């Protein structure tokens, strides 16, 4: 993606994080580590934006209050609708977690959640269900929000069947190009989950502070042949992920994805080469080693 920007230095960027709530986010730590390690200094500002104020936040971004934004729960779909152009994953997903403001005040929306998720799976080594020599893996994604759609869009060309699970499957189908979508009570769900290789938990259920919640998926449907990824990283291990681990599944939390999606986003705001700097800084300073 080519975004015209000349007036600001790469090391002098003001980036907003739009979300509601924001208490769970640890993105600020990543950019602090980048600066500590001698990388570009990003003025990264969490901005709690209630849904009814999202349009006003977009206008502030267009007006130049920030050079770009990260977008998190629950605004990713509206971020995609607000952008003047979208990268292919954001267009397929109908969800953007990154906005880049060009010098002419236009906004480009990108989805780094999907590529970040795929890159994060590399931490699983031989258990990575997407590794080149692995058989095509089918995937079930719990939820149909911004992150679920980004992951589905990124998985579409790399895996076998990708199925989403939603409380409103009919609406979810019409609102996205991701399909099929099953309801939580659909009688096909048990078989679909049992036969899948990859199960992705992409709802906020279990996220701090509501750490006792879990998606309504019986853990007995999971077993040692599954790779289960919960996109949540606060708490480090959700109730759902702990139950999957107890059933013998290979498990991964949302931290590797968080680092990877931020590295991809940084490259869009600050230019090529900055993503590896962020990954190195986080690894060197041990951020996330909870």
How far is residue 283's CA from residue 271's CA, in Å, rounded to a whole number?
20
Phi and psi for 156 in degrees, rounded to 5? -50, -40
Give yes or no for residue 204 binding ligand NAP (CB under 6 A). Answer: yes
Do 30 and 285 form a contact (C-beta atoms < 8 A)?
no
Subset of residues 237 to 256 that bind ligand NAP, contact rule: CB under 6 A: 254
CB of 19 to ligand NAP, least distance (A): 8
- For position 143 contacting ligand NAP by CB under 6 A, the verdict is yes
The token pair at 257 is 């994805």
113 binds ligand NAP (CB under 6 A): yes
Closer CB to ligand NAP, 70 or 159, in the complex: 70
Q: Is 3 helix (H, G, I), strand (E, B) or coil?
A: coil
Residue numbers 264-283 binding ligand NAP by CB under 6 A: none
In this structure, the strands spanning 162-166 and 139-142 are parallel
* Binding residue for ligand NAP, selected from 15, 34, 49, 172, defined by CB under 6 A: 172
Distance in Å, CB of 4 to ligand NAP, minimum: 28
Q: 73 and 204 in contact (C-beta within 8 Å)?
A: yes
Which residues 6+ apart lie within 8 Å of 128 measured at CB? 121, 122, 134, 227
Query: Is residue 76 annotated as part of the catalytic site, yes or no?
Result: yes
Catalytic residue positions, numbered: 76
Residues that bind ligand NAP (CB under 6 A): 24, 72-74, 76, 113, 116, 143-148, 166-168, 172, 202-205, 207, 231-233, 254, 257-258, 261
């Amino acid at each position: 993606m080519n975004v015209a920007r000349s007036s600001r230095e790469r090391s002098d960027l003001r980036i907003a994080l739009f979300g509601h709530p924001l208490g769970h986010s640890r993105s600020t730590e990543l950019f602090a580590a980048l600066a500590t390690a001698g990388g570009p200094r990003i003025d990264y500002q969490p901005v709690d934006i209630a849904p009814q104020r999202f349009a006003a936040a977009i206008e502030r971004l267009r007006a130049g209050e920030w050079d770009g934004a990260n977008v998190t729960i629950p605004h990713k779909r509206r971020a995609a609708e607000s952008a003047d152009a979208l990268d292919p994953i954001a267009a397929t997903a109908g969800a953007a977690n990154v906005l880049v403001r060009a010098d002419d005040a236009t906004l480009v929306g990108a989805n780094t959640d999907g590529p970040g998720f795929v890159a994060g799976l590399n931490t699983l080594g031989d258990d990575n269900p997407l590794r080149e020599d692995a058989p095509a893996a089918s995937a079930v994604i719990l939820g149909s929000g911004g992150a679920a759609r980004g992951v589905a869009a990124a998985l579409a060309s790399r895996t076998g069947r990708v199925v989403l699970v939603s409380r409103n499957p009919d609406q979810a189908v019409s609102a996205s190009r991701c399909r099929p979508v099953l309801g939580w009570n659909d009688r096909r769900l048990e078989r679909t989950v049992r036969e899948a290789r990859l199960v992705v938990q992409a709802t906020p259920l279990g996220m701090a502070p509501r750490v006792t919640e879990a998606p309504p998926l019986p853990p007995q449907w999971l077993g040692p042949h599954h790779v289960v990824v919960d996109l949540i990283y606060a708490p480090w291990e959700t109730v759902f992920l702990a139950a999957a681990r107890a059933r013998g599944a290979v498990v991964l939390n949302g931290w590797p994805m968080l680092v990877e999606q931020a590295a991809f986003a940084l490259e869009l705001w600050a230019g090529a080469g900055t993503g590896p700097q962020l990954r190195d800084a986080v690894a060197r300073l041990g951020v996330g080693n909870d």
